[in-house]
Amino acid sequence: MTAAYKSAPRGTQQASRAMARDRFLRLLLPAATLLIGLALWEAVVDINDIPPYVLPAPTLIAKTLVTDWQALWASLLVTLRTTIQGLLLAFGGGVALAILFNQSRLVEYSFYPYAVILQVTPVVAIAPLLLVYLPQPLAVLASAWIVAFFPVLANATLGLRSVDRNLVDLFELYGASRMQTLLRLKLPAALPYMLGGLKIAGGLALIGAVVAEIAAGSAGAGSGLAYRIAESGYRLDIPRMFAALILLSVAGVAIFAALSLFSYLVLRRWHESVLAEER
């Protein structure tokens, strides 16, 4: 008993060290891979004397990012604002419609096929049509919403259907109303599914906004970052195009990281998907 008692803290310390080492490697290895790739890229451009309009060096892209920061940052804010608005509308509408589907099979049978059709139709084909009937800001927002809507709806619908039937029967046995069952059982049980759909929809909303901005192709103070990419391509300003692409990629990663953090903070105290990772 004494030996077992003494070995327990040692095993816990070893597990903690292993987790710390694993987290360190998760950060170190991608960073090292990125640095090696950038160094090889720079070397290939320098050795072969590749012109900037064909393939700019990473140092030139970084310099362009600093030089044109003000214009690129303003355009990025336009794209991010549209993305966040579309994501919020998609999450609110998707969850609300999923609740209606769960409460009425007739509503689900009537509208779910059209949600599927909306999802499988490429946004590249929808965006020009939206620009015909809507002002440019609303058309871009609608494109972001369309792409982000279905993942939220599908995951929320799945989560509401996946509630343990024994718990539903228990609520019915105690005389709970449909609203009480929904608020106290189904929605908490479906929350991880909804948050999973929200993380998927975050990146898709950014894609929808970018596609619509390229289709709109209008300059001015309200131009998004996608238009700056298209404009740079027309002018063969490839370093600026790469700089804008890097900003878009960083924005997408930041959106996913923020939504992952939000999901963790919501679920960390009670859901097994988070508790299992912390063990």
Q: Is the pLDDT of residue 144 over 50?
A: yes
The whole-model pTM stands at 0.82
Of the listed ranges 3-17, 31-45, 47-61, 168-182, the one predicted with least confidence? 3-17
Length, in residues, of the chain: 279
Residue 99, pLDDT score = 93
180/119 same-domain check? yes
20/131 same-domain check? no
- Total structural domains in the chain? 2
270: helix, strand or coil: coil
19/77 same-domain check? no
CATH of the domain at 111: 1.10.3720.10
Residue with tokens 């003494």: 6
CB 193 within 8 A of CB 158: yes
Averaged pLDDT score across all residues of the chain: 85
CB 212 within 8 A of CB 139: yes
Q: Is the pLDDT of residue 7 over 80?
A: no
90/176 same-domain check? yes
Q: Is the pLDDT of residue 83 over 90?
A: yes
Q: Is the pLDDT of residue 154 over 70?
A: yes
CB neighbourhood size of 260 (10 A): 14
CB 219 within 8 A of CB 257: no
203/179 same-domain check? yes
36/158 same-domain check? no
179/41 same-domain check? no
CA distance 183 to 105: 19
Residue 158, pLDDT score = 92
Tell me which residue range forms the domain holding 272: 57-278
39/106 same-domain check? no
Q: What is the DSSP string of 73-126?
A: HHHHHHHHHHHHHHHHHHHHHHHHHHHHHHH-HHHHHHHHHHHHHHHHS-HHHH
CB 127 within 8 A of CB 212: yes
CB neighbourhood size of 179 (10 A): 9
17/150 same-domain check? no
Q: For 117-137, write each residue's pLDDT tens digit.
A: 888 888 888 888 888 888 888
143/273 same-domain check? yes
202/232 same-domain check? yes
34/159 same-domain check? no
Q: What is the percent of the chain with per-residue pLDDT over 70, rounded to a whole number?
A: 88
